[in-house]
Amino acid sequence: MTETRQSIHGQWSSRWAFILAATGSAVGLGNIWKFPYITGENGGGAFVLIYLLCIAVVGIPVMMSEIMLGRRGKQSPIHTMRTLAQEERGSSSWQIVGWSGVLAGFLILSFYSVIAGWALSYVVSAVSGSFSGISADQSSDLFGSLVSNPTVQLSWHTLFMVMTMFVVARGVRDGLEKAIRLLMPALLVLLLILVGYAMNSGGFMQGFHFLFDADFSKVTTEGVLTALGHAFFTLSLGMGAIMVYGAYLPDDVSITRVAFTVAIADTAVALLAGMAIFPIVFANGLEPGAGPGLIFQTLPVAFGAMPGGIIFGTLFFLLLVFAAWSSAISIIEPVVAWLVEDRGWSRKRASISAGGVTWVLGIATILSFNVWSEVKWFDKTIFDLLDYLTANIMLPLGGLLIALFAGWVMNQNHSRGELGMEEGLYQRWLLLIRYVTPVAIGLVFLNAIDLI
């Protein structure tokens, strides 16, 4: 069936182009902003080992499934799921997987762009020397003045959305691929420079042991579920991004190999980020379990006190911007692809329209930190509610449905042919995707809604 389908959007020029793009989608704020602080909150090395196990038994099988569905359908996630459901004689209701991914992408990017705007703002602050000699209270005030000012936040949010839409509007090869070929090597170079500095910070071995020494006495059920959830979400699964990137994957590329490569690269970036951040934290006597404020409130104190802090602070927040940018491009691509397919719009018109709606939604997140800070549903601000709804409800359900469709609805001859795996390896994948992965995702989901 796949030979008769061709993506109207074009395809990646090579296997490595896809790997860079999918890694760019997976490597985002979750790796550099979230992974270090949840590791700090859950005791370090033991948490990392559990996280790596979760990547292997949950993340990689779902990623293989999502790439497989995308390449077989060769369309936006909505049309891919509709086409494949018809092909497999399944219910047309399966297209809800695509709709859910598109909606989740809209909601995620609306607040993701605001946080990326903070990183852009902090690049300017670092370059201008605002971190020099800054105290913890002054750092807190700096962050507070940013989030309390809706006009300033709106400016940075707007700039980041314009950056994202500029790339997406140019298409698969001229936009997405060219941008990723620049962003991903730049991101890796910046990260390695920061790790190199951390090695000479005086706290490297302390940070290294914190990250890799396993103390299972600190492991809790909540920590295991956090590792499982983050392993799933860090790979950008369940939101249609990997599926639509899979639609542009040439037929002769091994899905198994690229999925493993992307998962390894994503995990390596998360670990390198920890190796860059924790030594700096320890060298300056700061708290590794500082929570979400680790990046925007704790690290500026460290950069302000270290030699060359202006340079390394600037590099760090540039790294954060690049990671967010590469992810944002992938998050909005599914809806842009759908608008081109379903409405016959040009990519430019589709990108501007999708970006415009996302930009408007982002205003609600901006206001939730100031003017609308008292507006709450279920005791959550708008930002908290969007984050909770997408990360804890929509993405797990999307990933669960992808696993169920790939494992139970899709004809095994079709999935075996797409994956191109040896029979023994295929049977292991089928076991994971049918039984282990759905149970694991179900546990994350039940924990998220406080049923376990």
Please write down the HEC assignment for all residues of 347-375.
HHHHHHHHHHHHHHHHHHHHHHCCCCCCC
In order along its 452 residues, the chain shows pLDDT tens digits of 444 678 888 889 888 999 999 998 888 877 887 788 788 778 788 898 999 998 988 899 999 999 999 999 999 999 999 999 999 998 989 999 999 988 988 899 999 999 999 999 999 999 999 999 888 889 889 999 999 999 999 999 999 999 999 999 988 888 888 988 888 888 888 889 988 888 888 889 998 888 888 888 888 888 888 888 788 778 888 888 999 999 999 998 999 999 999 999 998 988 898 898 888 888 878 777 666 677 888 789 888 888 888 998 999 899 889 988 999 999 999 999 999 999 999 999 999 999 999 999 999 999 999 999 998 888 889 998 998 888 778 888 888 999 999 999 999 999 999 998 999 999 999 999 999 999 988 887 777 666 55
Q: Which residues pair with 30 in a beta bridge?
A: none
> For residue 332, which of 353, 355, 316 has the smallest C-alpha distance?
355
> For residue 421, which of 309, 263, 258, 307 has the smallest C-alpha distance?
258
Q: Which residues pair with 377 in a beta bridge?
A: 380
Helix and strand numbers, DSSP H then E, in the chain:
23, 0
Is 370 within 8 Å of 29 (Cβ atoms)?
Answer: no
- The number of distinct structural domains making up the chain is 1
Q: What is the CATH number of the domain that holds 83?
A: 1.20.1740
Which residues in 182-210 are b (16+ Cβ under 10 Å) and which e? ebbeebbebbebbbebbbebebbebbbeb
Question: How far, in Å, CA of 199 to CA of 211, rounded?
Answer: 14
* Helix, strand, or coil (residue 237): coil
Question: Residues near 339 by Cβ (< 8 Å), separated by ≥ 6?
Answer: 345, 349, 350, 353, 354
Token pair 């395809």 is at which residue?
Answer: 11
Question: How far, in Å, CA of 314 to CA of 122, rounded?
Answer: 8
What does pTM read for this prediction? Answer: 0.91
Containing domain of residue 158, as a range? 2-448
**Positive or negative, the Cα torsion across 180, 183, 187, 189?**
positive
